């Protein structure tokens, strides 16, 4: 085993989740020594996240806390003491900056002394409902030292490391906050599918009196679907499907069809109940294409909005007769466009702030941002945080203490950063022709919401959502930080040591803080300290704030005075 020159203790401070709602501060958790394939890293900082609150409440019921069922053998998992699925206590915290202090003799891709940013999602390792993740079924960053395994932290598809190397120029807070910023970035740079899935499963449902058209034109250049299931009312419709040349299966109705079985569901019709029956037939990443043929649905439709975010399902449509028109209206990505009139709903929270700041710093011309939130204090903090930044970028920003603007204006790009499904209905009602609605905040996966699909389809709107991030997203955000285009630490609203983590989780639940909370594990007994209170609580640290914002100098002062003096400083 190779170790750094710093002394590695036998025990450490760690926050452990031992059951639903049961957070404990363990002041003597053993520090595991790495086995042959393993890596021991010292945690510099970990930011708290709303997802941590979900894990606290759900514990073993959370899909990322489950047993790994695919992607790695059980023998390997049994060798990793930090693999803690199911009812085993875990250490939460997935927005993490760390430094490698020891590696096993068979570790080849990681070196002692490297400073790293942790990519959370191990997407090649499947649980029954999701994927494995750092801070869930693998212990996370709310402890002083964490053990990882090189056989887990390398992506087998890209051969890239989940421990992304970073330099010394960034503060620990700026590094760990790349992870949530990368989730925001992912929602903009996501690449959207604009054809039927090649080799996928397609379902075609046609009501009486509707022509079946545009299917072949919807196929991907990479090939047709592997199979087309049809539920058609008329013989002419069945002939149109069979003429495609793809293998076909004919069914009498949709009721007996398996749920989450189809990559593309194309509905020729305009009946609300007909559309609603198709909600659950979409597979993850699936597209439902509603071809109304000039007819109106005539009422709101219950849509599975939870699956738009978590399963990345998409809803598109056309008032014409060709399914190809709907696919052609899908934007290439979720990126904002020059001249965009942007509305961010729930902008006062940590992630909403990131959306506002990210778009201000986009460099695109002619954009404006309206930012709404229910909490007046959050709106005030947001306004103060972005005022000088917006002026420097020449982007008009309008913070509003309201759930939605009351002026009736329409917006070309709407971000929903509040986990309230009813907001989706209002967003579609306020979207311009060709408007994009970024459903960023997740609601439970079974949640449905009534939407005005007539307006949505007639205006050619696009509703989409994403969940999490990939290594590429983190690399994009890191490049922005290094170039000076973005300061991820601008979203910090409070800091804490280990003793303040439970209060930090409570603050997230009560929405009592406007931005992110960064935890420094070496500050053992420090409680939660909001930046607004720092002048009273930690005046020496407050003196190092940069215009009231958290930065490297303030972090250095904190660690010099509040950190464990027997441990090395960041």
- Please check whether residue 568 lies inside any domain of the structure: no
- Please check whether residue 310 lies inside any domain of the structure: yes
Q: Do 209 and 110 share a domain, yes or no? A: no
Q: With residue 19 as reference, give the H or E element that holds it.
A: strand 11-19
Q: Do 103 and 221 share a domain, yes or no? A: no
The token pair at 344 is: 């961010």
Q: Do the Cβ atoms of 125 and 155 come closer than 8 Å?
A: no
Pairing type for strands 115-118 and 2-3 reads: unpaired
Q: Strands of 60-178 (E only): list them.
A: 95-103, 115-118, 121-126, 131-133, 145-149, 163-165
Verdict on whether the full-model pTM lies above 0.85: yes
Q: Which of 434, 465, 496 is the last residue of a domain?
A: 465
- Please check whether residue 196 lies inside any domain of the structure: no
Q: Do 350 and 477 share a domain, yes or no? A: no
Q: Do 349 and 454 share a domain, yes or no? A: yes
Q: Which CATH number is 144's domain given?
A: 3.90.180.10
**Residue 318 sits in which domain range?**
201-328
The token pair at 207 is: 């009501």
Count of domains forming the chain: 3
- Please check whether residue 459 lies inside any domain of the structure: yes
Q: Do 441 and 489 share a domain, yes or no? A: no
- Please check whether residue 194 lies inside any domain of the structure: no
Q: Which CATH number is 267's domain given?
A: 3.40.50.720
Q: Do 161 and 226 share a domain, yes or no? A: no
Pick from 32, 27, 24, 41: nearest CA to 89:
24
- Please check whether residue 567 lies inside any domain of the structure: no
Q: Strands of 452-514 (E only): list them.
A: 462-464, 492-496
Q: Do 106 and 38 share a domain, yes or no? A: yes
3-class secondary structure, 106: coil
Q: Do 400 and 540 share a domain, yes or no? A: no
Instruction: Give Cβ neighbours of residue 507 (< 8 Å, ≥ 6 apart).
Output: 494, 513, 517, 528
- Alpha carbons 551 and 468: distance in angstroms, whole number: 25
Q: Do 182 and 265 share a domain, yes or no? A: no
One digit per residue, pLDDT tens: the chain, 570 residues?
788 888 999 999 999 999 999 999 999 999 999 999 999 999 999 999 989 999 999 999 998 999 999 999 999 999 999 999 999 999 999 999 999 999 999 999 999 999 999 999 998 999 987 899 999 999 999 999 999 999 999 999 999 999 999 999 999 999 999 999 999 999 999 999 999 999 999 999 999 999 999 999 999 999 999 999 999 999 999 999 999 999 999 999 999 999 999 999 999 999 999 999 999 999 999 999 999 999 999 999 999 999 999 899 999 999 999 999 999 999 999 999 999 999 999 999 999 999 999 999 999 999 999 999 999 999 999 999 899 999 999 999 999 999 899 888 999 999 999 989 999 999 999 999 999 999 999 888 889 999 999 999 999 999 999 988 889 999 999 999 999 889 999 899 999 999 999 999 999 999 899 899 999 999 999 999 999 999 999 999 999 999 899 999 999 999 999 876 444 444
Q: Do 364 and 380 share a domain, yes or no? A: yes
- Please check whether residue 11 lies inside any domain of the structure: yes
- Please check whether residue 76 lies inside any domain of the structure: yes
Q: Do 377 and 460 share a domain, yes or no? A: yes
Q: Do 33 and 86 share a domain, yes or no? A: yes
Place of tokens 């809803």: 315
């Amino acid at each position: 085993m190779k170790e750094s020159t710093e002394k590695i203790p036998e025990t450490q401070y760690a926050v452990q989740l031992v059951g639903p709602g049961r957070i404990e501060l363990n002041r003597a958790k053993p520090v595991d020594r790495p086995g042959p394939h393993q890596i021991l890293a010292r945690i510099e900082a970990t930011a708290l996240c709303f997802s941590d609150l979900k894990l606290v409440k759900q514990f073993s019921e959370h899909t990322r806390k489950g047993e790994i069922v695919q992607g790695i053998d059980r023998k390997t998992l049994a060798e990793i003491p930090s693999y803690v699925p199911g009812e085993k206590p875990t250490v939460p915290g997935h927005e993490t900056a760390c430094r490698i202090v020891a590696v096993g003799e068979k570790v080849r891709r990681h070196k002692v002394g490297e400073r790293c940013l942790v990519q959370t999602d191990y997407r090649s390792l499947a649980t029954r409902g999701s994927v494995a993740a750092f801070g869930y079924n693998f212990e996370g960053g709310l402890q002083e030292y964490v053990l990882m395994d090189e056989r887990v932290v390398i992506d087998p598809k890209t051969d890239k490391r989940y421990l992304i190397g970073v330099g010394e120029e960034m503060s620990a807070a700026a590094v760990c906050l790349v992870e949530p910023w990368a989730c925001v970035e992912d929602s903009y740079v996501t690449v959207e599918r604009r054809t039927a899935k090649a080799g996928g499963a397609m379902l075609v449902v046609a009501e009486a009196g509707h022509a079946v058209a545009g299917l072949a034109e919807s196929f991907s250049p990479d090939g047709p679907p592997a199979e087309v299931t049809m539920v058609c009312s008329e013989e002419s419709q069945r002939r149109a499907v069979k003429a495609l040349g793809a293998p076909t299966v004919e069914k009498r109705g949709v009721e007996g069809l398996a749920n989450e079985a189809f990559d593309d569901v194309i509905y020729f019709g305009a009946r609300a109940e007909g559309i609603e029956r198709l909600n659950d037939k979409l597979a993850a990443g699936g597209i439902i294409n509603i071809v109304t043929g000039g007819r109106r649905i005539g009422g709101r439709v219950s849509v599975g909005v939870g699956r738009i975010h978590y399963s990345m399902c998409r809803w598109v449509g056309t008032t014409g007769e060709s399914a190809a028109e709907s696919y052609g209206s899908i934007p290439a990505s979720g990126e904002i466009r020059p001249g965009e009139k942007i509305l961010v709903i729930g902008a006062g929270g940590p992630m909403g702030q990131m959306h506002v700041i990210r778009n201000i710093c986009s460099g695109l011309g002619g954009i404006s941002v309206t930012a709404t939130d229910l909490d007046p204090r959050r709106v005030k903090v947001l306004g103060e945080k972005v005022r000088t930044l917006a002026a420097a970028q020449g982007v008009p920003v309008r913070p509003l203490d309201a759930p939605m603007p009351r002026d009736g204006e329409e917006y070309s790009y709407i971000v929903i950063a509040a986990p309230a499904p009813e907001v989706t209905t209002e967003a579609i009602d306020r979207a311009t022709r060709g408007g994009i609605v970024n459903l960023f905040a997740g609601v439970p996966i079974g949640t449905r919401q009534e939407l005005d699909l007539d307006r949505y389809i007639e205006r050619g709107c696009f509703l989409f959502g994403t969940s999490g991030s990939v290594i590429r997203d983190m690399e994009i955000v890191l490049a922005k930080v290094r170039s000076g285009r973005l300061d991820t630490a601008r979203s910090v609203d409070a800091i804490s040591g280990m003793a303040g983590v439970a209060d930090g989780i409570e603050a997230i639940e009560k929405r009592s803080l406007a931005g992110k909370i960064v935890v420094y594990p070496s500050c053992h007994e420090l409680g939660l300290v909001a930046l607004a209170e720092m002048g009273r609580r930690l005046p020496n640290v407050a003196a190092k704030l940069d215009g009231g914002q958290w930065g490297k100098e303030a972090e250095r002062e904190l660690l010099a005075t509040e950190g464990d003096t027997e441990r090395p400083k960041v």
